[in-house]
Amino acid sequence: MDIKSAITTPFNKIPPHLFVAISGWISKIIIASVQIISIRALLSYLGEDRYAVYAIAFSIVSWSALTELSIGTSLQNFISESRAKNENYDKYLKACLQIIIILFVIFSIVIIFISNPVQNIIFRKFTNISEIQTTHIILTGAMIYLAYALTFPVYKVYYALHKGYVSNFLQALSAIISMAAIVIFKRHYPEGHSITTALIIFTLPLFLCAAPLFIKIFASYLPRIFEFDIKTIKNIFIRAVKFHSITIFTLIFLQTDYLVMSQTLKPADIVTYSIFMKVFMFIVFIYIAVLAAVWPVFSEMYVRKEFNQIKSMIKKYNLLVLILSIAGTAFIYIFSPVIIKILAPGTQIDASPLLILMFGIFILLRCYCDTFLTFLQSINALRTLFIYMPFQIALNASAQYFLSKNYGVKGILAGLIISLVLTAFWILPLKTKAVLKTELP
């Protein structure tokens, strides 16, 4: 055996999705690290009150992700299914590009009309910050994020091809660019304090890193951009709408916290929540990297009717969830004084054991539910999600609003935990069990 064969043979035995997962871990670690480290730079650059506005603005701008309408997720499943059947999938790529161009025109107009009213409503309590009255903060950030959201499907294409490591690398690169930019601005423009600048720094690199890959995959279809395959477009769009409904429900559920906090909590409490949520999201990012890699694997295994293997994988991932959540929560609790000192020196941060425990419980519940949610979406089993998610959102929003008035940040977390326990925590496992039991002979 020659040297090249001796080196490559062991790696050839490793499943491709494992390489994607490992690259995803590295990427998510980089992204999470940047988000955590950038807190100190942003607090120093903006100050506490302006950072609170930035945190809320970024949360609002992130809603522009909805404009993609989950076209990328729909495309990913079609590509995975085509690969499992050894079929060509060019028609899906062309149809996806056509839909994206139309969506960009429509949502650009929508954002231009609604951004200023949204900004005035959300920030009405921050009258001491003049930039809110003089600058189009939400419009600027939302338009950049729109461009990123509509190039994001290219990352899904690479995941479907089991080359998600490319997507992971570029997303990590965008985070590194953002971190470098905020450090440079803080050093050379220490008196700037621009919320809009900070928002651009943490949104524009997302688009700039995705754009070259998008051009590489989709540019060849531009000469045929006016050749419409209505059936294919319809198939992608109908499935995408179903996925998008789930995306909307999920985003509303996860972003309700900042909307509620903007009305019920003080800036210092918002900073406390933002810092610890970013730290705990480190655990989520690691696990999401695994799920992103295994999504197309679930799709292909389901088409090939490998149901016992699917059940075994789900059990292994749930064990991983338990280990990550317990170990991560313990680590954060032990080092919380150091974390606060590094990320937010000079601020009054509530790092009580109860607060950290509640964050840990939420992360454990979320990751556990995400395992089953990923499987069900990978096989397009979405009906059950449509039924329970609206109740979950209503329960979460009402619980967060009333509990946060009395218990502050802990009330926000209590709302998240209660809404998960009463809905997704038991519904998703039961649905998964029913699907696999029905399909087994």
Pair 378, 435: CB distance under 8 Å: no
Query: What pTM was computed for the model?
Result: 0.72
Least confident segment among 5-19, 90-104, 145-159, 214-228: 5-19
Within 189-229, where are the H helices? 195-201, 204-218
Dihedral of CA 75/205/217/226: which sign?
positive
CA–CA distance, 178 with 184 (Å, rounded to integer) = 10
Residue 292, pLDDT score:
82
Find, among 315, 292, 350, the residue nearest to 163 by Cα.
Answer: 292
Residue 9, pLDDT score:
43
CA–CA distance, 368 with 342 (Å, rounded to integer) = 30
Residue 343 has pLDDT above 50, yes or no: yes
Range among 187-201, 275-289, 357-371 rated most confident: 357-371
Average pLDDT in the 189-204 region? 82
CA–CA distance, 117 with 114 (Å, rounded to integer) = 6
* 441 pLDDT tier (thresholds 50, 70, 90): very low
Pair 59, 197: CB distance under 8 Å: no
The secondary structure of residue 135, as a DSSP letter, is S
Residue 294 has pLDDT above 80, yes or no: yes
- Look at the block and give the residue holding tokens 């989709």: 218
Residue 13 has pLDDT above 70, yes or no: no
Residue 3 has pLDDT above 70, yes or no: no
Q: How many C-beta atoms lie closer than 10 Å to residue 376's C-beta?
A: 20
CA–CA distance, 365 with 387 (Å, rounded to integer) = 20
- pLDDT, tens digit, 9 for 90 and up, residues 305-342: 889 999 999 999 999 999 999 999 999 999 988 888 88
CA–CA distance, 239 with 246 (Å, rounded to integer) = 11
- pLDDT, tens digit, 9 for 90 and up, residues 358-396: 999 999 999 999 999 999 998 888 889 889 999 999 999
Pair 241, 407: CB distance under 8 Å: no
- Look at the block and give the residue holding tokens 């699917």: 310
